[in-house]
Amino acid sequence: MRLLRPFLRCLPANRLLVVACHRVTPAFDPYDPQTPDAARFARQLDALRGFEVVPLTAGLAALREGKLRRTSVAITFDDGYREQLVVAAPLLAARGYPATVFVSSGFVGGPNMWHDRLLWALREGVAGARLDAVGLPEAVPVALQARRQLAERCTAAVKSLPLLAREQAVALVEAACAAPPAPRLMLDATELRELARRPGIEIGAHTRHHPILAACALEEARAEVSGSRADLEQLLGVPVGLFAYPNGHEGRDFSERDVGLVREAGFSHAFTSDWGAVTPASDALKLPRVSLYRQSALGNALLLAREAWR
Ligand SMILES: [Zn+2]
């Protein structure tokens, strides 16, 4: 990493790499091997050592004014998990790194998000439970790996359903699996306020219920976008000017109509899950992000450097 630093200092000016993170589990979970645990997240943060890590809003302002002297990085989290307070925030604080957390306001205090409910139901459910009610021919298997694969198929099958139909499908799977109650994964109001008070932490909006906006009727999408801003401003007592689109791929998950709703709701900047660096030419309501998907700090530092040059 140290050898890389002179090279990182030569990266182009006026580029902001916005890193998108989600869950950070306390320990490695074989059922959920893709989700970084605390140790892997710490390595992801170590990849940022040679970069200037800036608060997102300040970084965007500096970019607009042409004042980012070299490629900088901002850290974001989506959804509003408790782990972001309990596991991630101390690791950020130890390094003095700021971050922005995009919260789906309808999940504050519970219930868990629909895909986590499916994962839990199929992980902890009764082996042999039938899933005919959601159109899946197989029963819940015994092996953890096979349960995980079934959970992924189940997730893909219900992901793009309208909100109500998706909720019904998840409830059917939960009823069929009869798993014990799941631990609460989402921040509650007290925890969210505590997170917002941590130095360097900023809260953005991420709709109320995390729908695929492109699949929502106009008024439903409008309520999801503007409602999340109103909810969070009421909870936190500060203006919320940043937004991230659920799922976040332009064209597939949100449309120009939804960009218009984000503008109408008064957000100054909105983030997608499309890949790339933010430059002064980027559309403020369709800003790309990157993910640190490599295992090592060096691998992730090189991934960021490549993106800065692209
Ligand atoms: Zn999300």
Residues 29, 153 within the same domain: no
Last residue of a domain, one of 147, 177, 207: 177
**CA 108 to ligand 1 centroid distance, Å:** 13
pLDDT tens track for 188-243: 999 999 999 999 999 999 999 999 999 999 999 999 999 999 999 999 999 999 99
Q: Any idea what DSSP says for residue 31?
A: T
pLDDT of residue 114: 93
pLDDT tier for residue 2 given thresholds of 50, 70 and 90: confident
- If we measure between CA atoms, which residue out of 245, 267, 273, 204 comes closest to residue 55? 204
**CA 210 to ligand 1 centroid distance, Å:** 6
**CA 295 to ligand 1 centroid distance, Å:** 22
CB count within 10 Å of CB 120 equals: 21
pLDDT tier for residue 158 given thresholds of 50, 70 and 90: confident
Residues 166, 91 within the same domain: no
**CA 36 to ligand 1 centroid distance, Å:** 16
CA dist., res. 278 & res. 299, Å (int): 21
Cα 31 to chain center, whole Å?
19
Structure tokens at 180: 């014990």
Amino acid, res. 70: R
Residues 147, 191 within the same domain: no
**CA 140 to ligand 1 centroid distance, Å:** 27
**CA 204 to ligand 1 centroid distance, Å:** 12
**CA 263 to ligand 1 centroid distance, Å:** 19
Cα 42 to chain center, whole Å?
17
Q: Any idea what DSSP says for residue 293?
A: -
pLDDT tens track for 108-145: 998 999 999 999 999 999 999 998 877 888 889 999 99
Mean pLDDT over residues 140-159, rounded? 91
CA dist., res. 63 & res. 44, Å (int): 24
Q: How far is CA 141 from CA 116, 159, 221, 274, in A?
A: 18, 22, 37, 35
**CA 9 to ligand 1 centroid distance, Å:** 32
**CA 79 to ligand 1 centroid distance, Å:** 5
pLDDT tens track for 85-105: 999 999 999 999 999 999 999
**CA 24 to ligand 1 centroid distance, Å:** 14
Helix (H) or strand (E) holding 19: strand 16-21
CA dist., res. 262 & res. 267, Å (int): 6
Give residues with Cβ within 8 angstroms of 34, minimum separation 6: none
CA dist., res. 44 & res. 54, Å (int): 16
Mean pLDDT over residues 70-83, rounded? 96
pLDDT of residue 208: 97
Average pLDDT, the chain: 94
Q: Helices (H), strands (E): how many in the chain? A: 12, 8
Residues 167, 29 within the same domain: no
**CA 10 to ligand 1 centroid distance, Å:** 34
Is the pLDDT at 70 greater than 90? The verdict is no
pLDDT of residue 162: 84
Residues 40, 118 within the same domain: no
**CA 245 to ligand 1 centroid distance, Å:** 7
By residue range, what is the domain housing residue 124? 114-177
Residues 288, 141 within the same domain: no
Structural domains counted in the chain = 2
Cα distance between the two ends of the chain = 21
- If we measure between CA atoms, which residue out of 76, 80, 44, 48 comes closest to residue 60? 76
pLDDT tens track for 5-37: 787 878 888 999 999 999 999 999 999 988 999
Residues 92, 163 within the same domain: no
Which residues are registered as beta bridge partners of 254? 250
pLDDT of residue 163: 84
